[in-house]
């Protein structure tokens, strides 16, 4: 059995190389991690895109990876906080035993993971970074791990798209960036972007907590201009053959100097 498997492995590698799907050598990807201090601004009125905030220097400061409530950013929690989730038991608002926890500055809601601060809306995050000379003529990919929820990305004021996945990192193909200094701006919106239901565990304040921010890895990595997007091999044992299928990505054009 091991000899059969070894034979199949050799055949798979041979056909992949023959078809040009795999180069004989792959350059190692380089990664630039962007944790640390970021510029920041809340966008309560949704003015940021209309006023082109991606082309300005944001005034505030925040640390990423991280969330806004963990850094004391947002509104004080009150009995009027617009939580994400349904309240079926109204006793908290009427029962005398809960009176001390309804007082301003001491609000503790039994239905929620009660943070000290709360904010639902758009927030903008921004920082400068430098593309190394070794990345010249390389494709650059941005990874945002565990953002909550929707992200939109600009580099030097140019928009590169949007993503609203809750189950996978948000990745953005930035194409070829000239070596030197650039500005990255990310807009994060933690309102109910997709109607999965206000009590869904993935977004509800009952369990998840409706925080705004990016809690995982934030990085840039370089790749070749041509890369394998997907590679699948289908063996046909009876015919002693196999089918190799896949996709190849390609970035064209040159960065502005």
Q: What is the pLDDT of residue 7?
A: 54
One domain for residues 132 and 240: no
One domain for residues 40 and 152: yes
One domain for residues 48 and 166: yes
Distance CA 247, CA 254 (A): 23
Q: Mention every residue, 6+ apart, whose C-beta is less than 8 A from residue 152.
A: 159, 161, 162, 186, 187
One domain for residues 109 and 192: yes
One domain for residues 130 and 167: yes
Burial of residue 155 (CB within 10 Å: 0-12, 13-18, 19+) is: buried
pLDDT digits (tens, 9 = 90+) for 177-186: 999 999 999 9
Burial of residue 53 (CB within 10 Å: 0-12, 13-18, 19+) is: buried
One domain for residues 239 and 176: no
pLDDT digits (tens, 9 = 90+) for 190-199: 999 998 888 8
One domain for residues 191 and 234: no
Report which listed range, 2-16, 101-115, 224-238, is most confident: 101-115
Distances (CA, A) of 210 to 36, 72, 153, 189: 23, 14, 21, 10
Task: Identify the residue whose tokens are 């304040």.
Answer: 205
One domain for residues 21 and 82: no
Q: Mention every residue, 6+ apart, whose C-beta is less than 8 A from residue 199.
A: 85, 86, 206
Distance CA 31, CA 223 (A): 10
Three-state secondary-structure class, residue 242: strand
pLDDT digits (tens, 9 = 90+) for 75-130: 999 989 999 998 888 888 899 999 999 998 889 888 888 888 999 999 999 999 99
One domain for residues 81 and 171: yes
Residues facing 97 on adjacent strands: none
Q: What is the pLDDT of residue 9?
A: 54
On whether residue 256 sits in a domain, the answer given is: no
Q: Where are the beta strands (DSSP E) in 170-240?
A: 170-176, 180-189, 213-214, 218-223, 226-236
């Amino acid at each position: 059995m091991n000899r059969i498997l070894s034979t199949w492995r050799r055949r798979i590698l041979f056909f992949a190389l023959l078809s040009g799907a795999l180069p004989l050598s792959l350059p190692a990807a380089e990664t630039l991690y962007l944790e640390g201090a970021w510029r920041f601004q809340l966008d309560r009125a949704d003015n940021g895109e209309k006023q082109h905030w991606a082309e300005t220097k944001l005034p505030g400061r925040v640390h990423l990876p991280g969330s806004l409530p963990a850094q004391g950013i947002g509104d004080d929690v009150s009995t009027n906080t617009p939580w994400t989730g349904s309240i079926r038991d109204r006793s908290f608002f009427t029962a005398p035993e809960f009176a001390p926890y309804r007082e301003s500055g001491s609000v503790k809601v039994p239905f929620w993971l009660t943070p000290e601060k709360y904010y639902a809306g758009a927030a903008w995050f921004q920082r400068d970074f430098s593309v190394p000379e070794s990345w010249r003529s390389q494709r650059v990919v941005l990874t945002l791990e565990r953002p909550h929820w929707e992200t939109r990305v600009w580099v030097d004021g140019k928009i590169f798209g949007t993503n609203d996945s809750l189950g996978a990192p948000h990745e953005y193909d930035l194409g070829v960036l000239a070596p030197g200094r650039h500005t990255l701006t990310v807009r994060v919106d933690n309102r109910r972007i997709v109607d999965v239901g206000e009590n869904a565990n993935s977004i509800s304040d009952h369990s998840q907590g409706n925080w705004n921010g990016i809690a995982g890895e934030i990085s840039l990595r370089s790749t070749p201009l041509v890369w394998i997007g997907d590679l699948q091999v289908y063996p046909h044992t009876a015919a002693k053959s196999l089918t190799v299928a896949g996709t190849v990505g390609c970035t064209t054009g040159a960065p502005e100097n």
